[in-house]
Amino acid sequence: MSSIKTSVKGKVPMGQKVAFGLGMLANQMFPAALGIFMVVLVQDLGFPAWMWGILFFLPRVFDAVTDPIMGFISDNTRSKWGRRRHYVFIGAIIMGISFVVMWQLYRESGLNYNFIYFLMWSFMFYLGLTIFSVPYVAMGYEMSDDFHERTSIMAVAQWIGQWAWVIAPWFWVVMYDPEWFPNADTATRSLAVWVGISCMLLAMIPAIFIKSKSTINETTFSPLTLSAIGKSMAEILAGFKEAFSYRPFRKLCIATFFIFNAFNTVASFSFFIVVYYLFNGDAGAAGIWPTLFGSVGALATTFMVIPIVARMSNKMGKKNAFLLSQGISILGYILLWFLFIPGKPYMFLFGLPFFSFGIGSLFTLMMSMTADVCDLDELNSGKRREGIFGAIYWWMVKFGFAIAGLLTGAIMTLVDFNPDAAVQADGAVSGLRFFYSAIPITGTLIAMWVMRDYDLTEQKAREITKQLEDRKA
């Protein structure tokens, strides 16, 4: 059994929660900005849908493969700084610099060059993201062993992180305003510098301010030599199998996969629906409405959804809070089908608070529930393996994101949607609207069915915590 006590009892100081949350702001700003900037590849640099799909898919598959390896390394690191902090710091630097370089694309370089250039630097960016995010998420799991305090930590982190989704949509306004930049690709080159450097600094904060106990004298860890890491693949796979053998954790992963994959498959469609359905393809006439869709939705998540979900979790338990939140999100997707009304763009704003309960509640609850599973694992295995569990959980998220990229390109091809066309083919925009509602509703319903009998309740979690405390006494 590991001698390290990686969690702390009772309340976590707000300063520590905020420090962790600022890391979450960086962790969410990168994908938020990436989602905005990716539109430029199609809309302004002429990337066809199949290229877009590959750029979404391949780097994220690479990311998903490296995550469990990083989880193993993080869990078994002997250092006076603890297992996680230095990786968070180094990963922040790599992903910040590579994000800046990745977006230095010039039209005159040609389509094929830009495609290969972007793809190669994407691999470097996602390597940095892996080195940062896997230990970072594990740090969050370790901050408290209290059932509700874990939800509070994740609620604060998600509240801060959601500001990324409030800010990022306004990049559209800046990118397509000629008073700011002559064109959108020029804009992305400049904005990428600001995003990359600022998020790099934010991502360093948890490494600097969240202290960890030294592991330099730990005797139970696996060695981290190159040969040992190579041989550890069997242990990593065994850890995967063992972690997935926990029924509660398996349900968390599957439910997250379906919700997140479904959401991200259609996430970029909102821009095209607003521009092409509400404003007949006139991006100038659409003005800030595409921005408002993302920004208002994120504000609803920040100030309404996360506080409500945290309170719901305390009152009715994490599972019931999850099921109710996802049910509300289904209502939101249905409302958006009816509230996208040409000539009345403001109407979709009324559906956004309901729509926001889906993703807004997902990670607040699921990350807290994963921390509960880590306690169950320690009880059974005698090891603290937050890195492995965090890596597996986020592997499901990232693999879902990769699949979503392929599906996005496939759907755009299926409905014959062409962003470069002055007039879209018959049924193209209505096809996007159909999938925009149908896919998330289907994914959410599957996730709710999977979670219907999730049984790691507060009572069981507290019993596990008590047994662990008795064992360490």
Per-residue pLDDT tens over the stretch 371-380: 788 788 778 7
Is 224 a domain residue? Answer: no
pLDDT for 147: 63
pLDDT for 1: 33
State the number of CA atoms in the 13 A half-sphere of 318 facing the CB.
Answer: 31
Is 35 a domain residue? Answer: yes
**The tokens 């900037």 sit on which residue?**
37
pLDDT for 74: 76
Confidence band of 6 (pLDDT split at 50, 70, 90) = very low
CA distance 286 to 169: 14
SS (H, E, C) the chain: CCCCCCCCCCCCCHHHHHHHHHHHHHHHHHHHHHHHHHHHHHHCCCCCHHHHHHHHHHHHHHHHHHHHHHHHHHHCCCCCCCCCHHHHHHHHHHHHHHHHHHCCCCHHHCHHHHHHHHHHHHHHHHHHHHHHHHHHHHHHHHCCCCHHHHHHHHHHHHHHHCHHHHHCCHHHHHHCCCCCCCCHHHHHHHHHHHHHHHHHHHHHHHHHHCCCCCCCCCCCCCCCCHHHHHHCHHHHHHHHHHHHHCHHHHHHHHHHHHHHHHHHHHCCHHHHHHHHHHCCCCHHHHCCHHHHHHHHHHHHHHHHHHHHHHHHHHHHCHHHHHHHHHHHHHHHHHHHHHHCCCCCHHHHHHCHHHHCHHHHHHHHHHHHHHHHHHHHHHHHHCCCCHHHHHHHHHHHHHHHHHHHHHHHHHHHHHCCCCCCCCCCCCCHHHHHHHHHHHHHHHHHHHHHHHHCCCCCCHHHHHHHHHHHHHHHC
Is 449 a domain residue? Answer: yes
pLDDT for 226: 64
Domain ranges, residue 179: 19-214+231-472
CATH number at residue 433: 1.20.1250.20
pLDDT digits (tens, 9 = 90+) for 255-314: 988 998 888 788 778 878 888 888 887 777 777 787 778 778 778 877 888 888 888 988
Between 208 and 146, name the one with better pLDDT.
208
Those residues with Cβ within 8 angstroms of residue 233's Cβ, 6 or more apart along the chain or in another chain: 69
Between 73 and 259, name the one with better pLDDT.
259
Kindly tell me if the per-residue pLDDT of 467 is higher than 60: yes
Per the CB < 8 A criterion, the answer to whether 358 and 329 are in contact is yes
Which stretch of 160-174, 217-231, 288-302, 318-332 has the lowest confidence by average pLDDT?
217-231
Is 103 a domain residue? Answer: yes
User: Quick one: tokens of 79?
Assistant: 């250092």
CA distance 84 to 391: 13
pLDDT for 5: 39
> What average pLDDT does this structure show over 145-153?
71
> What average pLDDT does this structure show over 177-200?
84
pLDDT for 10: 57
pLDDT for 330: 94
> What average pLDDT does this structure show over 53-66?
78
Most distant pair of Cα atoms in the chain: their distance: 71
Per the CB < 8 A criterion, the answer to whether 4 and 213 are in contact is yes
CA distance 83 to 188: 36
Distances from the Cα of 143 to the Cαs of 45, 146, 390, 467, in angstroms?
44, 9, 14, 19
pLDDT for 459: 81
pLDDT digits (tens, 9 = 90+) for 104-125: 988 878 878 888 888 899 899 9
Those residues with Cβ within 8 angstroms of residue 195's Cβ, 6 or more apart along the chain or in another chain: 29, 30, 33, 99
User: Quick one: tokens of 190?
Assistant: 């400049």
Kindly tell me if the per-residue pLDDT of 2 is higher than 50: no
Is 221 a domain residue? Answer: no
Is 150 a domain residue? Answer: yes
User: Quick one: tokens of 342?
Assistant: 């040409």
Between 214 and 84, name the one with better pLDDT.
84
> What average pLDDT does this structure show over 184-196?
85
Query: How many independent structural domains does the chain possess?
Result: 1
Is 166 a domain residue? Answer: yes
At residue 77, what are phi and psi to the nearest 5 degrees?
-85, 125
Is 10 a domain residue? Answer: no
pLDDT digits (tens, 9 = 90+) for 228-269: 566 656 666 776 777 777 888 889 888 988 998 888 788 778
pLDDT for 325: 93
CA distance 92 to 145: 27
**The tokens 């069915």 sit on which residue?**
449
CA distance 125 to 97: 8
Kindly tell me if the per-residue pLDDT of 347 is higher than 50: yes
Angle made by CA atoms 365, 27, 123, in degrees to the nearest 5: 125
* Long-range contacts at 415-420 (CB < 8 A, ≥ 24 apart): 417/272, 419/42, 419/43, 419/272, 420/46
> What average pLDDT does this structure show over 452-462?
82
Kindly tell me if the per-residue pLDDT of 447 is higher than 70: yes
Which stretch of 56-65, 299-308, 379-388 has the lowest confidence by average pLDDT?
379-388
Select, from the ranges 50-54, 70-74, 120-124, the one with the highest average predicted confidence (pLDDT): 120-124
Between 144 and 437, name the one with better pLDDT.
437
CA distance 356 to 304: 9
pLDDT over 70 percentage in the chain: 86
pLDDT for 442: 94
User: Quick one: tokens of 293?
Assistant: 């869709």
> What average pLDDT does this structure show over 418-431?
74
| Number of other CB atoms surrounding residue 223 within 10 Å | 11
pLDDT for 77: 72
Distances from the Cα of 333 to the Cαs of 299, 362, 385, in angstroms?
17, 16, 37
